C-alpha cells in the first residue's frame, strides 16, 4: 500500500512519524474518513469543511489547502486501485522534539499529515446492513467537545469491545438519561413514520452522513424530529438506524436485548440507505 506522509507518497513500511508527535503522545490531532465508491470520493466537500472546523477549534494549522487534500485523496485512491473503500486522513499538531502540555510554537512546528487507504470491496453491498445491527447502551463518559473530530478514540473503542463481549455489534452512548450517539455514528429511531434524532450541539459529532440523510428524508416527505430521546423510547420504536461515512445507513434491529419490529432491517432505514447510496454515487468526485 502507498501512503502519504508530510508531502511524500511512500510504501507503508517506509512511512515515519516522530515518537514525540503530539498525536502519538497526547491524541492532539483530528481526522476524517471519506468513503470511496466506484473509485470516487463520497462527500469530499463535507469532510473538508468539517476538517477545517476541527482544526480551527483546536487552533491547529491546516497543513495543506482543500485542493491539495483532494488531489492527495485521489492520488492514493488511484495508486492503490481502490474501487470501494475508505481514505483515512489525520492531522496532528506535530512536535518540537520534546514532550510538553503547552502547545509548541506554530511558527516553528509543522503539523503532521498522514493519509492511507483501506480496501473494502463490500462497503456498499455490506452483509451486516442486510442483517441489521444489535446495539447495547453504555454510559457516555467522553469529553465534552464531541463536535471536534479528534483522534481520542479510546472510549469509543472500549464501547465497541463491550458490545462485542455482549454478542452485539455496537454501543449507543447515554448521558443524563438521553442517547447522544453511537460509538462511531449518529443514532436515530423511527416511530409511526417519524424519524427522531438528537439535535446538533457540542454533545455529538456533526455527521456528514447525518446531514445528507436528513436532507434525503425531508425530500421524501418523512417527518423528522431533532430532539433529545431516551433509550427506552428507542426500544419501543418501530425501527432504528445509525449513519456514518463508512457504514452509510445501518439498520438497528435490537437494543439492549429488545427486538425492534420483526427483528429485521426496517423499511425506512432500508429506503434511506438505498437513496443515500444512489445519490452519493451520482455526486461522487
Ligand atoms: N459520531 C461519531 C462519534 C463518529 O465517530 C462518527 C464517524 O466517525 C459519526 C458520528 C458519523 O459521522 P460521519 O457521518 O461524518 O461519518
- What ipTM was reported for this prediction? 0.99
For position 63, what pLDDT does the model report? 85
pLDDT in tens, 59-114: 999 889 999 999 999 999 999 999 999 999 999 999 999 999 999 999 999 999 99
Query: How would you write 173-209 as a 3-class SS string?
Result: EEECCEEEEECCCEEEEEECCEEEECCCCCCCCCCHH
Contact yes or no for 7/81 (Cβ under 8 A): no
For position 22, what pLDDT does the model report? 98
Helices (H), 132-222: 154-165, 208-219
Q: CA–CA separation, 198 vs 204, rounded Å?
A: 8
How much of the chain, in percent, has pLDDT values that exceed 90?
99
Parallel, antiparallel or unpaired: strands 248-255 and 223-226: unpaired
CATH at residue 34: 3.30.470.10
Nearest C-alpha neighbor of 259 from the set 243, 236, 242? 236
Residues 151 and 63 in one domain: no
Query: 117 in ligand 1 pocket by Cβ < 6 Å?
Result: no
Q: CA–CA separation, 192 vs 211, rounded Å?
A: 22
Q: Give the position, in ligand 1's atom list, of the atom nearest the Cα of 186.
A: 10
For position 16, what pLDDT does the model report? 97
Q: Which domain holds residue 16?
A: 2-119
Mean pLDDT of 268-276: 98
| pLDDT classification of 19: cutoffs 50, 70, 90 | very high
Cell 427506552: give the residue: 232
Nearest C-alpha neighbor of 23 from the set 70, 55, 56, 68? 55
| Probe target for ligand 1 pocket from 244, 249, 276, 277, with the most ligand atoms within 8 Å of CB | 244
Separation of CA 181 and ligand 1 centre (Å): 9
CATH at residue 266: 3.20.10.10
Mean pLDDT of 17-27: 98
Q: CA–CA separation, 242 vs 221, rounded Å?
A: 20
Mean pLDDT of 250-269: 98
pLDDT in tens, 214-245: 999 999 999 999 999 999 999 999 999 999 99
Report the Cα–Cα distance between both ends of the chain, in Å, rounded.
22
Cell 479510546: give the residue: 154
The domain boundary residue, chosen from 59, 89, 119:
119
**Is the pLDDT assigned to residue 33 strictly greater than 90?**
yes
Residues 149 and 278 in one domain: yes
CB-hemisphere CA count at 13 Å for 222? Answer: 23
Contact yes or no for 48/69 (Cβ under 8 A): yes
How much of the chain, in percent, has pLDDT values that exceed 70?
100
Query: 46 in ligand 1 pocket by Cβ < 6 Å?
Result: no
Catalytic residue among 66, 130, 149, 211: 149
For position 6, what pLDDT does the model report? 97
For position 159, what pLDDT does the model report? 98
| DSSP SS3 for 3 | strand
Provide the Cα torsion 109, 58, 181, 213; round to 10°.
-90
∠175-179-183 over CA atoms, to 5°?
A: 90
* Number of folded domains that form the chain: 2
Contact yes or no for 172/231 (Cβ under 8 A): yes
Residues 76 and 192 in one domain: no
Residues 159 and 200 in one domain: yes
119 alpha-carbon distance from chain centroid: 17
Closest CA to ligand 1's atom 5 = 184
Residues 147 and 252 in one domain: yes
Residues 162 and 91 in one domain: no
The residues facing 4 across adjacent strands are: 9, 115
Mean pLDDT of 144-165: 98
- Indicate the DSSP class of residue 216: H
Query: 240 in ligand 1 pocket by Cβ < 6 Å?
Result: no
The domain boundary residue, chosen from 96, 119, 142:
119
Separation of CA 243 and ligand 1 centre (Å): 7
Separation of CA 105 and ligand 1 centre (Å): 31
Q: Give the position, in ligand 1's atom list, of the atom nearest the Cα of 181.
A: 1
Contact yes or no for 230/178 (Cβ under 8 A): yes
**Is the pLDDT assigned to residue 195 strictly greater than 90?**
yes
Query: 181 in ligand 1 pocket by Cβ < 6 Å?
Result: yes
Whether 149 is catalytic is yes
The domain boundary residue, chosen from 95, 119, 143:
119
Closest CA to ligand 1's atom 7 = 184
For the record, the C-alpha cell of 105 comes out as 510554537
Q: Give the position, in ligand 1's atom list, of the atom nearest the Cα of 156.
A: 3
Q: CA–CA separation, 44 vs 268, rounded Å?
A: 26
Mean pLDDT of 241-257: 98
Amino acid at each position: 500500500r502507498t501512503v502519504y506522509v508530510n508531502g511524500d507518497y511512500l510504501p507503508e513500511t517506509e512511512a515515519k512519524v516522530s515518537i514525540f508527535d503530539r498525536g502519538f503522545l497526547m491524541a492532539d490531532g483530528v481526522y476524517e474518513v471519506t468513503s470511496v465508491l466506484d473509485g470516487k470520493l463520497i462527500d469530499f466537500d463535507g469532510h473538508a469543511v468539517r476538517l477545517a472546523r476541527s482544526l480551527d477549534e483546536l487552533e491547529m494549522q491546516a497543513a495543506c489547502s482543500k485542493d491539495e487534500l483532494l488531489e492527495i485523496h485521489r492520488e492514493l485512491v488511484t495508486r492503490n486501485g481502490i474501487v470501494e473503500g475508505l481514505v483515512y486522513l489525520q492531522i496532528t499538531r506535530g512536535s518540537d522534539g520534546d514532550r510538553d502540555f503547552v502547545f509548541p510554537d506554530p511558527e516553528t512546528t509543522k503539523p503532521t499529515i498522514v493519509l492511507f487507504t483501506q480496501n473494502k470491496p463490500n462497503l456498499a453491498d455490506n452483509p451486516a446492513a442486510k442483517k441489521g445491527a444489535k446495539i447495547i447502551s453504555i454510559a457516555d463518559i467522553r469529553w465534552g467537545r464531541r463536535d471536534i473530530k479528534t483522534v481520542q478514540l479510546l472510549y469509543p473503542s472500549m464501547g465497541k469491545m463491550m458490545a462485542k463481549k455482549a454478542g452485539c455489534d455496537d454501543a449507543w452512548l447515554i448521558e443524563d438519561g438521553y442517547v447522544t450517539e453511537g460509538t462511531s455514528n449518529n443514532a436515530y429511531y423511527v416511530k409511526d413514520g417519524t424519524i427522531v434524532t438528537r439535535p446538533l450541539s457540542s454533545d455529538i459529532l456533526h455527521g456528514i452522513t447525518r446531514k445528507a440523510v436528513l436532507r434525503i428524508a425531508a425530500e421524501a416527505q418523512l417527518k423528522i424530529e431533532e430532539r433529545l430521546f431516551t433509550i427506552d423510547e428507542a426500544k419501543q420504536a418501530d425501527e432504528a438506524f445509525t449513519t456514518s461515512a463508512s457504514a452509510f445507513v445501518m439498520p438497528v434491529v435490537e437494543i439492549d436485548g429488545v427486538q425492534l419490529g420483526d427483528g429485521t432491517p426496517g423499511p425506512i432505514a432500508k429506503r434511506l440507505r438505498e437513496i443515500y447510496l444512489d445519490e452519493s454515487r451520482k455526486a461522487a468526485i
